[in-house]
Amino acid sequence: MPMPQVPFDDRGLAYGDGLFETVLLRDGQPVLWEYHHARLSKGCQRLNIPLPSARQLSQAWQAPPRAALEVLKLILTRGSGGRGYAIPNQVAPRLMTRRTPFTTNETHWREGVCVRMCQLRLGHQPLLAGIKHLNRLENVLARQEWQEPDIAEGLLTDQASNVVEATSMNLFWSSEGRLYTPYIDRCGVEGTLRAALLSEGLIHESRLSAAALSSVERLWVGNSVQGVWPVRELRDAHGSRLAAWPRFKADPLQVAAHRLLGYPGTFLS
Amino acid sequence: MPMPQVPFDDRGLAYGDGLFETVLLRDGQPVLWEYHHARLSKGCQRLNIPLPSARQLSQAWQAPPRAALEVLKLILTRGSGGRGYAIPNQVAPRLMTRRTPFTTNETHWREGVCVRMCQLRLGHQPLLAGIKHLNRLENVLARQEWQEPDIAEGLLTDQASNVVEATSMNLFWSSEGRLYTPYIDRCGVEGTLRAALLSEGLIHESRLSAAALSSVERLWVGNSVQGVWPVRELRDAHGSRLAAWPRFKADPLQVAAHRLLGYPGTFLS
């Protein structure tokens, strides 16, 4: 299948005027689709872009799978035109999809990962917080802060020095046996795995300052494609160790999350 | 000439990972090109995208003009690929251009315009402030706040309630005979007309609170394509008049700016 193209005057290219979703396909069927659909719908409302029909969206998984696990990337732009930032009178959104085979990182599931703090602080923009829009330069810049292959993710704080998320994953921590994730009301993306865990009452929203991060009981990063990675070590933006956590004997967050994703749920040593 | 296209995996489309310039061409030659080039160069440094050579860039105005005035839009993306937000090992930036005939709005030059305050507040992100990157959803959302054709621009404040710019123009005001423009250090775009006026010492950078806006001596919006529009009336985000200014007898800012752009410089009544 040839790769879709967009013309020069597509507003997704010109202004990042659109949304995307990255969906795990298992045996050709989308996982947590209702949460992806809900986020896409919320994004369309915020940006005032017509939401494609369920039938249009489901075209993306009509072809037979090429692998047991695939990643479906879906991009929806406002389409072409308009004078400058003003939107066209007649909007014809452009929906494009692409599927690529995917392999999970079982070592990260089992052994946990090393993460670092990013220097970039996310700006506050409540109108764009939560949705998965195409304006992702903050993530791109943050991801350029490190090249070391042993660092699996970078953690992002906001202008108020609260921890928000990782560059492409949500963040989870535990305190006194309860599981938490940061509010995504000023910046950041509401991941679909996070949404599903919240919806089932398994995690709770809270705020966590960067200063308090090193002393949480446990820390995880995760999303709906990769699953959940326990954090074993946290470094600052200069590479110095801030904290380390022992390998978990049991992992309630990973078990719950992987049950939702259809991944193996526990890696007891 | 067919419209350029970009593939699905172009990072300009995927993440807004790129820059653009909108350049006035007079008789096929770019106006204020050194300032456009300087801003593009600064943007490439900030985003870590290789800057195309002067020869590559100047290809955009090698074809003969189709009109005395044209607008050249230039988009530079980081090119294709990379896993997620991480940039590819080999970056092949994509440079695309398009020229369209342009007509000035002489009524706006002569009579001035009505502008309104936008409700959206620009988020602070110093790493992206000033450069003309492709993450422009704040501008797109702000421009959706009004449809009235008699409103020529919307003014944007930041999270600290300072006035920053208009949705697609810079802002200028006068106080005790001196000309000012807001600092663009936390958010907003450093327009090339603004840069040229600063470089010539004709205007000065300062801060202006939204509360103080109504009581400035004079107010203007302007950019390197449209020139300078005096503001005759300022409305709030609900359409109520906040302030009005008489038609200027002489306009030192418009004279100076239009001299730089090659436009007629004064519209004395």
Give the Cα separation of A107 and A150 in Å (integer): 12
Residue B123 sits in the same domain as residue B227: yes
Which chain A positions have a beta carbon within 8 Å of B167's beta carbon?
A: 84-85
Does A118 reach chain B within 8 Å, measured CB to CB?
Answer: no
pLDDT on residue B248: 73
Is B85's CB within 8 Å of A14's CB?
no
Question: Residue A77: pLDDT above 50?
Answer: yes
Q: Is B170 exposed, middle or buried (0-12, 13-18, 19+ CB in 10 A)?
A: buried
- The answer to whether the CB atoms of A13 and B123 lie below 8 A apart is no
Residues B97 and B154 in one domain: no
Which residues form the domain of A153? 106-261
Q: Rounded CA gap, A131 and A108, in Å?
A: 27
Is the separation of the CB atoms in B118 and B234 below 8 Å? no
Residue B226 reports pLDDT greater than 60? yes
Q: First vs last Cα of chain B: how many Å apart?
A: 44
Per-residue pLDDT reduced to its tens digit, B104-151: 999 999 999 999 999 999 999 999 999 999 999 999 999 999 999 999
Q: How far is CA B39 from the centre of its chain?
A: 11
* Residue of B15, B88, B92 whose CA lies nearest to B52: B92
CA dist B85 and B77 (Å) reads 14
Other C-beta atoms within 10 Å of B241: how many?
12
C-alpha B7/C-alpha A75 separation (Å) is 12
Q: What is the pLDDT of residue B267?
A: 57
DSSP H/E element including A11 = helix A11-15
- Give domain status of residue A268, yes or no: no
Same domain, A94 and A221: no
Q: Is B225 on the interface with A (CB under 8 A)?
A: no
Q: Residue A37: which of A18, A51, A16 has the closest Cα?
A: A51
User: Does B166 fall in a domain?
Assistant: yes
Name the percent of chain B lying above pLDDT 90: 94
**Are residues B78 and B124 located together in one domain of the fold?**
no
Residue A88 DSSP class: P
The neighbour count for residue A153, using CB atoms within 10 Å, is: 26
- Closest C-alpha to B49, from B95, B4, B83, B13: B95
Whether residue A29 lies within 8 A of chain B, CB to CB, comes out as no
| Full DSSP string of B31-46 | SSHHHHHHHHHHHHHH
In a domain, A4, yes or no: no
Residue A130 has pLDDT above 70, yes or no: yes
Average pLDDT over residues B221-242: 97
Q: How far is B97 from chain A (nearest CA, A)?
A: 8
Does position B99 have pLDDT exceeding 90, yes or no? Answer: yes
| pLDDT of A99 higher than 50 | yes
CB–CB contact A13 B7 (8 Å): no
Element of type H or E holding B23: strand B18-26
Q: Is A123 in CB contact (< 8 Å) with chain B?
A: yes
B125·A123 Cβ contact <8 A: yes
Residue pair A117/A175 in contact by the 8 Å Cβ criterion = no
In this structure, the answer to whether residues A129 and A53 fall within a common structural domain is no
Q: What is the pLDDT of residue A266?
A: 66
Kind and range of the H or E element at B196?
A: helix B192-199
Chains A and B form CB pairs within 8 A to the count of 154
Please indicate whether, in this complex, the C-beta atoms of A134 and B47 are within 8 angstroms of each other. Answer: no
Statement to judge: residues B171 and B88 lie in one domain: no
Does residue B20 sit in the same domain as residue B125? no
Asked whether the predicted pLDDT for residue A265 surpasses 80, the reply is no
Quick one: CA dihedral B117, A124, A86, B16, positive or negative? Answer: positive
pLDDT for B125: 98
| A27-49 pLDDT, tens digit each | 999 999 999 999 999 999 999 99
Mean pLDDT of all residues belonging to chain A = 96
Q: Range with the lowest mean pLDDT among A156-160, A198-202, A226-230, B1-5?
A: B1-5
- Say yes or no: A136 and A63 in one domain: no
Using a CB–CB cutoff of 8 Å, tell me whether B223 touches chain A: no
Average pLDDT on A252-265 reads 94
Whether A148 and A177 have beta carbons less than 8 Å apart is answered as: no
Q: Any CB–CB contact under 8 A between A60 and chain B?
A: no
pLDDT band at B265 (very low <50, low <70, confident <90, very high): confident
Q: What's the pLDDT at B83?
A: 78
What is the overall mean pLDDT for chain B? 96
Question: Does B178 reside within a domain?
Answer: yes
Tokens of A117: 């703090």
Question: Is residue B268, in this structure, part of any structural domain at all?
Answer: no
What's the average model confidence in pLDDT over B195-212?
Answer: 98
Report yes or no: A26 and A33 within 8 Å, Cβ to Cβ: no
- Residues of B with CB below 8 A from A75's CB? 8, 13-14
| B-proximal residues of A, 161-190, CB under 8 Å | 167-168, 187
Question: A137 and B16: CB-CB below 8 Å?
Answer: yes
One domain for residues B201 and B217: yes
Residue B205 corresponds to which tokens in the numbers above?
């950078």
What is the CATH number for A214? 3.20.10.10
Q: What angle do CA A78, A165, B90 make, to 5 degrees?
A: 65
Cβ atoms of B244 and B234 within 8 Å: the answer is yes
Last residue of a domain, one of B101, B117, B144: B101
Given a cut of 70, is residue B1 above it in pLDDT? no
Best A135, A164, A169, A189 residue to mutate vs chain B (most B CBs within 10 Å): A135
What CATH number is attached to the domain comprising B53? 3.30.470.10
pLDDT of residue B247: 84
pLDDT band at B198 (very low <50, low <70, confident <90, very high): very high
Contacts of A159 in chain B (CB under 8 A): 124, 159
Sorting pLDDT into bands at 50, 70 and 90, what band is B262? very high
Residues A215 and A126 both lie in one domain: yes
Tokens of A129: 């917080």
- Chain B hits for A17, CB-CB cut-off 8 Å, are 136-137, 140
Residue among A77, A84, A137 whose CB faces B168 most closely = A84
Domain end, chosen from A79, A101, A123, is at: A101
Q: Please name the helix (run of DSSP H) or strand (run of DSSP E) that holds residue A55, with its range, or none.
A: helix A54-58
Q: Which residues of B touch A132 (CB under 8 A)?
A: none
The minimum CA-CA distance between A242 and chain B, rounded to whole Å, is 24
For residues B154 and B133, give the distance between their C-alpha atoms in angstroms, rounded to a whole number.
20
Give the model's confidence band at A258: pLDDT under 50 very low, under 70 low, under 90 confident, else very high: very high
β-strand partners of B215: none
Instruction: Report pLDDT digits (tens) over B27-82.
Output: 999 999 999 999 999 999 999 999 999 999 999 999 999 999 999 999 999 999 97
Among B101, B133, B158, the domain-final residue is B101
Total number of domains constituting chain B: 2
Distance separating alpha carbons of residues B114 and B164, to the nearest angstrom = 17
Q: How far is CA B226 from CA A82, B24, B102, in A?
A: 17, 9, 9
CB atoms within 10 A of CB A14: 27
Residues B124 and B201 in one domain: yes
Q: How confident is the model at residue A269 (pLDDT cuts 50, 70, 90)?
A: very low
Query: Do the chains contact at B125 and A133, CB–CB below 8 Å?
Result: no
Cα dihedral A13, A14, A15, A21 in deg (nearest 10):
-10
Contact A128 B138 (CB under 8 A): yes
Residues B51, B67, single domain; the answer is yes
Tell me the C-alpha distance between B106 and B113, whole Å. 11
Structural domain includes residue A1: no
- Which of B38-42, B150-154, B248-252 shows the lowest per-residue confidence on average (mean pLDDT)? B248-252
Q: Do B136 and A17 touch (CB under 8 A)?
A: yes
CA B61, B67, B70: angle at the middle one, nearest 5? 55
pLDDT at B269: 43
| Residue A171 counted as domain residue | yes
Q: Is A269 a domain residue?
A: no
pLDDT bin (cut points 50, 70, 90) of residue B249 is confident
